[in-house]
A and B are shown apart, each in its own frame.
Chain A
Amino acid sequence: MPNKTDYYIPAKFFVERDHDRCIRCQACVRQCPYEATFYDAIDDKITNIHANCVNCKRCEFICPTDCITVIEHRSKFVKNHTWPDDLIENVYEQASFGGIKLTGMGCDKKYPVYFDHILLNASQVTNPSIDPLREPMELRTFIGRKPEKLEFDKHGKLATKTHPQIELATPLMFGAMSLGSISYNAFKTLALAASKLGTASNTGEGGLHADFYPYGKTIIVQCASGRFGVSAEYLNAGAAVEIKVGQGAKPGIGGHLPGEKVDTLISTTRMIPEGTDAISPAPHHDIYSIEDLKQLIDALKEATEFKKPVGVKIAAVHNVAAIASGIVRAGADFVTIDGFRGGTGAAPWQTRNNVGIPIELAIAQVDTRLRDEGIRHLASVIAAGSIRQSSDLMKIIALGADAAYIGTAALMTMGCTLCQTCYTGRCAWGITTQNPYLTKRLNPERCSERLINLVKAWSHEMKEMLGGMGLNSIESLRGNRLHLRGVGLTDTDLDILGILPAGRQ
Chain B
Amino acid sequence: MDCRLCEVGCIIEHSPIKDIIKAFKDKPKAKTPDSAAKRAAAFGVSPNRGMLSRTIVEANGPLQLSAMCRHCDKPECLHACITGAISKKADGRVIIDPKRCVACWSCIMACHWGVIERNEGEGVKHSHKCDLCPDRETPACVDICPNSALLYEER
Residue on A with the closest CB to B146?
A62
Q: A64-B144, A443-B148 are in contact. Are A23 and B21 (CB under 8 A)?
A: yes
Nearest-CB distance from B15 to chain A (Å)? 11
Stretch at the interface among A305-313, A391-399, A433-441, A463-471: A433-441
> Of B3-11, B31-39, B123-131, which stretch is located at the interface?
B3-11
The verdict on A61 contacting chain B, using a C-beta distance below 8 Å, is yes
Given contacts A25-B8, A30-B4, A31-B3, contact A61 B21 (CB under 8 A): no
Residue total for A at the interface (Cβ-Cβ under 8 A):
23
Are A440 and B148 interface neighbours, CB within 8 A? Answer: no
* Chain B positions within 8 Å of A20 at CB level: 21
* B1-25 near A? 1/0 per residue, CB < 8 Å: 1111101110000000000110111
- Within 8 Å of chain A (Cβ to Cβ): is B83? no
Collect the chain B residues with CB atoms within 8 Å of residue A27's CB: 3-5, 8
Task: State the majority secondary structure of interface residues on A.
Answer: loop
A456 at the interface (CB under 8 A from B): no
Q: Mark B40-69, 1 if CB is under 8 A from A, else 0.
A: 000000101100000000000110100000
**Complex contact B1–A436 (CB within 8 A):** no
CB pair B25–A23 under 8 Å, yes or no, is yes
**Residues 44-66 (chain A) with a chain B CB within 8 angstroms:** 61-62, 64-65
- Residues from chain A with a CB closer than 8 A to the CB of B144 are 64
Decide yes or no whether A24 CB sits under 8 A from chain B. Answer: yes
A73 interface residue per 8 A CB criterion: no
Given the contacts A25-B8, A25-B48, A437 and B3 also touching, CB distance less than 8 Å: no
Report the Cα distance A62→B5, complex, angstroms.
8
Q: Which residues of B contact A65 (CB under 8 A)?
A: 20-21
Chain B contacts for A441, CB-based, 8 A? 1, 147
Inter-subunit contact A443/B149 (CB<8 Å): yes
A129 close to B (CB within 8 Å):
no
User: Which residues of the other chain, A, contact B64 by a CB distance below 8 angstroms?
Assistant: 440
> How many Å lie between the Cα of A46 and that of B25 in the bound state?
15
In the assembled complex, the CB of B2 is this many whole angstroms from the nearest CB of chain A, namely 5
Say if the beta carbon of A21 comes within 8 Å of chain B.
Answer: yes
Docked pose: A430 CA to B146 CA in angstroms: 13
Closest to A437 in B: B62
Residues of chain A within 8 A (CB-CB) of B7 are 25
Q: Does A26 contact B (CB under 8 A)?
A: yes
Find chain A residues with CB under 8 A from B24 CB: 23-25
Are B21 and A446 closer than 8 Å at their CB atoms?
Answer: no
Q: How far is the CA of A65 from the CA of B20 in the complex (A)?
A: 7
Whole-angstrom distance between the alpha carbons of A39 and B46 in the complex?
10
On whether the beta carbons of A64 and B147 are closer than 8 Å, the reply is no
Contact status of A25 and B5, CB under 8 A, knowing A64-B20, A65-B20, A436-B62:
yes
A445 at the interface (CB under 8 A from B): yes
Q: In this complex, what residue of A is CB-closest to B4?
A: A27
Smallest beta-carbon distance A234→chain B, Å: 29
Q: Is the CB of A64 within 8 A of B148?
A: no
Q: In the complex, which residues of chain B have a beta carbon less than 8 angstroms from the beta carbon of A440?
A: 1, 62, 64, 147
Q: Using CB atoms and an 8 Å cutoff, list the residues of chain A in contact with chain B.
A: 20-21, 23-27, 30-31, 39, 61-62, 64-65, 430, 436-437, 440-443, 445-446
> What 17 additional pairs, Cβ within 8 angstroms, besides A23-B21, A25-B24, A31-B3?
A23-B49, A25-B8, A26-B4, A30-B3, A31-B1, A31-B2, A39-B46, A62-B146, A64-B20, A436-B61, A437-B1, A440-B1, A441-B1, A441-B147, A443-B149, A446-B147, A446-B148
Chain B interfacial positions (CB closer than 8 Å to A):
1-5, 7-9, 20-21, 23-25, 46, 48-49, 61-62, 64, 144, 146-149
